[in-house]
Structure 1
Amino acid sequence: MPIATINIIEGRSDEQKEKLIEKVTQAIHEAIDAPKQNVRVILNEMPKQHFGIGGESVKKMGR
């Protein structure tokens, strides 16, 4: 049972997250021939102040 864990920054719509789950599942299915019903996708959504680039939080950068 393949499990994909994806870390994303908060702010995406439910529709975008649903599409991401669908596309990642499809990619795993195609790449390793895993049955779609066996693929698990875990999205970890984090606050913007919990992710930094170049010494600043994404929140502070205004992203």
Structure 2
Amino acid sequence: MPLIDVTLVAGRTPEELRTLISRLTDAAEEAIGAPRPSIRVILREVPAAHWAAGDVTIEERNQE
């Protein structure tokens, strides 16, 4: 049972997230032959203020 766990910055539409789930499921099925019903996808959305690189949050970077 493959588990695909994705963390991304919040802000995408429900349609974009649904498309991502579908394409990840397709990729796992095609790449490793996993049975579709056994593929699990978890999307974790993190607020831009809680994600930083080089001591600058994405929120701060977007405000520049």
TM-score greater than 0.5 by the shorter chain:
yes
1:12 aligned counterpart, secondary structure: coil
Instruction: Show structure 1 runs of 4+ deviating over 2 A.
Output: none
How many percent of aligned residue pairs carry the same amino acid?
35
Count residues with an aligned counterpart: 63
In the superposition, the TM-score normalised over structure 2's length comes to 0.93
Q: Give the equivalent residue in structure 2 for 1:10.
A: 10
Q: Distance in 2 between matches of 1:22 and 1:45?
A: 17
Q: CA deviation at 1:55?
A: 1.7
In the superposition, the TM-score normalised over structure 1's length comes to 0.95
The gaps in structure 1 that reach 5 residues or longer are none
The gaps in structure 2 that reach 5 residues or longer are none
RMSD: 1.0
